[in-house]
Amino acid sequence: MTIDFKQDILAPVATDFTAMDTFINEGITSKVALVMAVSKHVVEAGGKRMRPIMCLLAAKACGATDIQMEPYRKLAAIIEMLHTATLVHDDVVDESGLRRGRPTANATWNNQTAVLVGDFLISRAFDLLVDLDNMVLLKDFSTGTCEIAEGEVLQLQAQHQPDTTEQTYLDIIHGKTSRLFELATEGAAILAGKPDYREPMRLFAGHFGNAFQIIDDILDYTSDAETLGKNIGDDLMEGKPTLPLISALQNTTGEQHEIVRKSIATGGTEHLEQVIQIVHQSGALDYCRQRAHEETDAALKALHRLPESEYRQALYNLAQLALHRIQ
């Protein structure tokens, strides 16, 4: 079955998704013109806004009705603002000039401005979160945001470290990618007052996030800059030991092994073509695809603990669509 994003995923919450924009626009409003200009630039950079869509679908999967959706729309906007803030900070840390095919905030303005606007977006997200008047939710988001920052620091520590293990890689991607997906879905369950749905929502989102990041890391070796919205080999240039490289190191010996080790240790793209070839020939991508399938299966298994509905089906479709990117 071919999954259509608009029809099979977005349609059940399309009205809520449109209404969410009001809260995002409210969130990026500032009396400082530069803050608004930079916020607008990064918020409008595109992307499918999967995290807020997951939040809205999770809310309805937890039983929220159309007339009860206002606070969930605000929660979805909070998720998108936090996500945008992490991307802005990410681009500064990685010295990236391109994001979703557009110049980054740090490239358009400068690092200082980008960092401060990222801080503003996080602060404003929590400002909106307080309005929801739910201490359990506030605590979950406070802890989760700390874990996201820790994931970024873990990744920084692992840079240029060819001995990075798969477990360390999983710890990194849980913090930097999966944790926000978890906040999006588990947050909806908390707000809905459905404690029994918290764990299945969190497990679904956590495994989905892992699969999503593994797929992203595969595409760094199989896609092109236009499709990816960033430059091919960016991760290698920064010396990031992603799963394709970790797997390639485990599956190679001799000269090939040394080329991959040296590339991680030094960064740069001097051996980019060779590394891409080694990653393809070593079976590393096959292993990564297998791991992405396993994580997706675990995500879908968690979903079955929720009552059947078109919203649960849309979450199922989203996980399958993400996996289709590597098939």
Q: Which of 215, 240, 226, 227 is nearest to 95 (CA)?
A: 240
Beta strand residue intervals within the chain, DSSP E: 98-99, 102-103
d(CA 26, CA 70) in angstroms, rounded, equals: 14
Q: Residue 88's pLDDT is what?
A: 86
Predicted confidence (pLDDT) at residue 288 exceeds the cutoff of 90: yes
Question: What pTM, to 2 d.p., does this model score?
Answer: 0.94
- Quickly list DSSP for 114-137: HHHHHHHHHHHHHHHHHHT--HHH
Task: Determine the topology of domain 5-324 in CATH.
Answer: Farnesyl Diphosphate Synthase (1.10.600)
Question: What is the reported pLDDT for 1?
Answer: 67
C-beta atoms surrounding 35 within 10 Å: 18
Domain boundaries, the chain: 5-324
293 confidence band (pLDDT: 50, 70, 90):
very high
CA distances from 322 to 212, 219, 299, 308 (A): 6, 12, 12, 21
Residues 36/30, Cβ–Cβ less than 8 Å: yes
Residue 48: predicted pLDDT: 81
